[in-house]
Structure 1
Amino acid sequence: MNIQRSPDVNRKLEIEAGLASFIDEFIALRRDIHTHPELAFKETRTSALVADYLKQWGYDVTTGVGGSGVVGTLKRGNSGKSIGIRADMDALPIIEETGLDYASSNSGVMHACGHDGHTTILLAAARYLAQFSRFSGTVHLIFQPAEEIGAGARRMIEEGLFERFPCDAVYGLHNWPGVPAGKFGFVTGPAMASVDRARIRVNGRGGHGAEPHKSVDPVVVASSIVLALQTVVARNLDPLDMGVVTVASIHGGDALNVIPAHVDLGITIRSFSQTVREELRRRIEAVARSQAESFGAVADVNYQWGFPALINAKAETEFARQVALNTFAKDTVIEDFRPRTASEDFAFMLEQKPGTYFFVGNGDSAGLHSPNYNFNDEILLPAALFWVRLTEASLI
């Protein structure tokens, strides 16, 4: 009995078989990159490796974009359409504890967020697109430095990324531990939170621990500020809005019988909208200063804007979701995938161009930024398959 498949199904199987024929090479490459992690703006080996492969496959390659960034451009046919696909390359200042035979050889530096995998996924797709592509238009493969410090995307943009490499839309992905391996999650609208920081120095008046009445104790003042900050989200935000205010560090004093002159607080702040973001800043500054004043102390607030919430465009998100549904079994695409309160500097690219940032399950692995984390090589093929399918669907 002959089973007739649609041309689209046949094409999907053809791409999958093509990728499978060389995926073992990319598993080895991913592990090589894992062994040689590099910190933000120091991705010299990684970017050189990326550039060399792209050149071998016939891409027009531009290096040094935003520091150590690389852009590979492939044009086919006569269409004026163009898209960008981004992968991040940098590692983290973490001592690896995985015990893998391909663990980091760079002491104190580790690929603990899967950027080794993201880079390799895009390289695998790049090879297939160059050798077996069926599209008409231009695809720009953007290998970005310094995501972990929130600086790489912004610097690439400042150096003319989208003027030099025009894109109708831009796409990115991130692996996600705890989500079944190879499952895809798409979110329309806010998908990842903004991130800002505040450092508060509470200035009191130091003195002897036996005579607290002669001092203005900044430890007590700081404690009051920490407690009062819990009301910022609970009592100042609309219950339907999301906000996170986490006091993650508090430091003050050394001797047990000395009231210190000051105490330092460190805070991370997250939200999904600019309105909430600005309200959080206003309330944090007001609470800190008013609480300190009520004790006769002074709070110096150093508020540092980080990067904005990552907002996925509706049309591009639905388009990407449909590509996934047309490529994989229906249950591969997770319905009602929820936004993440982690942050991502791809948000800057989405402020410039429509696009979407989605998630691919990494399975039951240690969490991101854990010294025991490892990227799941099983998702290299389906993720690369998706990039090829997205490119061909976009550029027809």
Structure 2
Amino acid sequence: MPVINRIAALAPEMTEWRRYLHQHPELEFDLPVTSGFVADRLREFGVDEIHEGIATSGIVALIKGRAPGPVIGLRADMDALPIDEVTGAEHASLNPGKMHACGHDGHTTMLLGAAKYLAETRNFAGTVALLFQPAEEDGGGGEVMVKEGVMDRFGIEQVYGIHNAPNVPFGHFHTTQGPLMAAVDTAWVTVRGKGGHGATPHECVDPIVAITGMVGALQTIVSRNAFAMDELVISVTQIHVGTANNIIPEEGWFCATIRSFHPEVRDLAERRFREIVEGHAAAYGVAVEIDYDRGYPPTVNDASKARFAAEVAREIAGADAVLDDAGREMGAEDFSYMLEARPGAYLFLGTGSGPGLHHPAYDFNDEIAPVGASFFVRLVERALPVA
């Protein structure tokens, strides 16, 4: 695997960066330690400009090449998850209830490694915009950065990102042309009836019966309303109701996640969700409140940019280790907002076997960081060649 020699030499330093970040996880937009660490490293590297405080704690740093030219954006997310870590590693989280369980510490490290190399060599014509983003896991930091105008402000014309992928062979890249990851919507439904004694249900209006009816009927949206070839997932993930074995509760609530790719399918799912819940409420004599939140849009790669990124990945990983028609997955990613604003591509980079993302035993594989950093560098040098 032809990792760039200079970046291979940076591997021990990159491991130190990553493990420091892993020990100091922070959530959503509140990333003072993380963003401060990133800014300090960028100053050490001698990048041309550092713009802090974007989307509260995000950073955009600029590195200018040997000649004028276009601007290419490279993005890394920085936030962690509200999870208690169980890895037992020496570099385990020092912040209880917070953990880098999705590898954003590794993503940040890979982009920092690329930044150090690019600032040293500047073997490109144009400008690299390094986008260090907060709040990918919750809060939509990518959307906030776009709404704050980073694409126009810094003249970014194309944008790329990568995500680590446990249990994909080490050093293998996966992507696809067009839709890659799903839109994600979330629905919270509160159901109110009339509570009372479990021995006298005829004197009550039972929200439990209504909720179970709703949850069962919602599954028919996928099986009976959506075209079988249109990907759609509706999963009820929480039901909270009741306090004792002899009490019919006054109210309860449930939550669902809805994943889709196409706007018309997304609209269908919301319409039928509301119709089913409201119809069952009328049938069971309960009152309902529906809070239906449209979240991240689908992550859609530009076809030509995805092909280009796959070509670059083959230079790093070899032809047999790059799959550019890997298909879609139902996970979601707020890099989608950046791809709505500018053409680009998102890729997965295999880290080998181990616990999956969002698992309390997960830990980023430090050996993959030079591969990701080399990919970013070659992407820039190929996209912005020196004449």
TM-score range, shorter chain: over 0.9
Q: 5 Å matches for 1:319-338?
A: 319-334=308-323, 336-338=325-327
**Secondary structure at 2:194's aligned position in 1?**
coil
1:252 matched to 2:262? The reply is no
User: What corresponds to 1:135 in structure 2?
Assistant: 124
User: What corresponds to 2:90 in structure 1?
Assistant: 101
1:51 matched to 2:39? The reply is yes
The alpha carbon displacement at 1:47 in A equals 0.8
User: What corresponds to 2:200 in structure 1?
Assistant: 211
Does the aligned pair in 2 maintain the 1:274–1:308 contact within 8 Å?
no
Given the two structures, how large is their TM-score scaled by the length of structure 1?
0.94
**Secondary structure at 2:69's aligned position in 1?**
coil
CA distance in 1, matches of 2:157, 2:121: 23
Deviations 1:93-128 (A, max 9, x none): 110000001100111110000000000000001111
User: What corresponds to 2:276 in structure 1?
Assistant: 287
1:27 matched to 2:19? The reply is no
**Secondary structure at 1:147's aligned position in 2?**
coil
CA distance in 1, matches of 2:221, 2:118: 50
User: What corresponds to 1:89 in structure 2?
Assistant: 78
**Secondary structure at 1:308's aligned position in 2?**
coil
Aligned with residue 221 of structure 2, among 213, 225, 232: 232
CA distance in 2, matches of 1:150, 1:232: 28
The alpha carbon displacement at 1:272 in A equals 1.2
The alpha carbon displacement at 1:335 in A equals 5.3
Deviations 1:213-257 (A, max 9, x none): 222211011100010011011111110111111111111121221
Q: 5 Å matches for 1:55-94?
A: 55-59=43-47, 60-94=49-83
Q: How many residues align?
A: 384
CA distance in 2, matches of 1:313, 1:150: 25
CA distance in 2, matches of 1:297, 1:65: 45
CA distance in 1, matches of 2:227, 2:8: 50
The alpha carbon displacement at 1:299 in A equals 2.3
1:38 matched to 2:26? The reply is yes
The alpha carbon displacement at 1:79 in A equals 3.0
The alpha carbon displacement at 1:273 in A equals 1.7
CA distance in 1, matches of 2:324, 2:7: 27
User: What corresponds to 1:355 in structure 2?
Assistant: 344
Does the aligned pair in 1 maintain the 2:123–2:381 contact within 8 Å?
yes
1:155 matched to 2:144? The reply is yes
CA distance in 1, matches of 2:316, 2:290: 51
User: What corresponds to 1:5 in structure 2?
Assistant: none
Amino acid at match of 1:180: P
The alpha carbon displacement at 1:296 in A equals 1.8
The alpha carbon displacement at 1:323 in A equals 1.1
Aligned with residue 354 of structure 2, among 360, 365, 373: 365
Deviations 1:12-68 (A, max 9, x none): 96x711111221111111111111111111211111111111122221111111110
**Secondary structure at 1:25's aligned position in 2?**
helix
Amino acid at match of 1:109: K
User: What corresponds to 1:388 in structure 2?
Assistant: 377
Given the two structures, how large is their TM-score scaled by the length of structure 2?
0.97
User: What corresponds to 2:153 in structure 1?
Assistant: 164
Q: Which 5+ residue runs of structure 2 have no aligned equivalent?
A: none
CA distance in 1, matches of 2:287, 2:31: 43
**Secondary structure at 1:365's aligned position in 2?**
coil
CA distance in 2, matches of 1:279, 1:205: 32
Structure 1 pair 66/335, CA: closer, same or farther in 2 (3 Å)? closer
CA distance in 2, matches of 1:46, 1:335: 33
Does the aligned pair in 1 maintain the 2:54–2:60 contact within 8 Å?
yes
